Amino acid sequence: MLYTISDLVLDVQGGSDELSERMAGYALSPLQRGGRSCDIKILVEKKKKIALPAGEPMGRSGIWKLMRTEVGYTVYRILPGFDDMVSVRMDFQSNEATLSLLSLDDDNRDRRDFIFAGQAFSNLILTKDRIVLHGSCIAYRGKAIIFSAPSGTGKSTHTGLWAENLKDVIYINDDTPVVDVSHADGAVFACGSPWSGKNQKNTNVIVPLCAVVFLERGTENEICPIGKTEAMARLLGEVRKLPLRCFVERAAENCGKLICRVPVYRLRCNISYDAVETVRRELSL
């Protein structure tokens, strides 16, 4: 099935009904595709046994094991309590990823393929001058803002205040928007994608990005721009990526483009509409 996300053509083969339904809003018909070739391909396979990969071990990241292979990179997980039973394996080669999931039944409502396809997508688009950033992204008056912070800080609570109190607020993505820095003229765009967290708030739109705002809890509402060094550290920490050198380097390169083109702020705020007004005044919205 073909999809379009951030003006990229994505070919996803295999997967459950859950995956197809969650991605339906981004489906691309052959007529819409025209003569464009696919930019990214993801193959989803359900298997009763997944082979251990062969290659050069490159350490671990949490429960993921990392490996360099003859054709690319592989990350995989071992089923808890076993030494060699692989539960999930992702093989990356150029612009393609093969996602293998251990499945001992025919559950077609399995959500794992949707979740892991999102992880594969987040890494593949790094080579397309894009990042997936952890944050709640809204559009207001034709401009996009991303509010980013570690989980539990209150990003969705803050953007909820925008949606509750202002007309014409659109949720681009409430959890992991795509940021496109590929344009030679310096334009940066925030883009919707179907991977948007538990609330599933996302819209298939592409909107000029006017600011990235790192949110912190506070008793008073205050906003100020931050320097490029701090902005780079914060952005890299919130970019969705595997800790493989090829992905980290591209993430850093894309973040560098972003902070040279779009202002980055720190917002200390409470849960009040005045926090929204504080941002609007600073951004002249």
Residue 17 amino acid letter = D
* Phi and psi torsions of 269, nearest 5°: -150, 160
pLDDT at 63 over 90: no
pLDDT at 179: 99
Burial of 158: CB neighbours in 10 Å, binned 0-12, 13-18, 19+: buried
The rounded distance, in Å, linking the Cα atoms of 89 and 67 is: 11
Q: Cβ(105)–Cβ(282) under 8 Å?
A: no
pLDDT at 60 over 70: yes
The rounded distance, in Å, linking the Cα atoms of 13 and 42 is: 6
Q: Cβ(191)–Cβ(10) under 8 Å?
A: no
pLDDT at 198: 86
SS3 of residue 92 by DSSP: strand
pLDDT at 30: 77
SS3 of residue 104 by DSSP: coil
H/E element, 73: strand 73-78
The rounded distance, in Å, linking the Cα atoms of 121 and 40 is: 8
**pLDDT band with cut points at 50, 70 and 90 for residue 34:** confident
Structure tokens at 242: 């595997």
The residues with which 189 forms a beta bridge, in sequence order, are 180, 208
pLDDT at 180: 99
- Right CATH number for 130-283 from 3.90.228.20, 3.40.50.10360, 3.40.1360.10, 3.30.420.40? 3.90.228.20
The rounded distance, in Å, linking the Cα atoms of 279 and 153 is: 17
The stretch 200-219 carries a mean pLDDT of 96
The 10s digit of each residue's pLDDT in 250-262 is: 999 999 999 999 9
pLDDT at 107 over 70: no
**pLDDT band with cut points at 50, 70 and 90 for residue 210:** very high
pLDDT at 109: 63
Pinpoint the residues of the chain covered by CATH 3.90.228.20.
130-283
pLDDT at 150: 86
The stretch 224-234 carries a mean pLDDT of 97
Report the chain's mean pLDDT, rounded to a whole number.
94
pLDDT at 83: 84
Report residue 246 CA to chain centroid gap: 17
Share of the chain above pLDDT 70, in %: 98
pLDDT at 140 over 80: yes
pLDDT at 188: 99
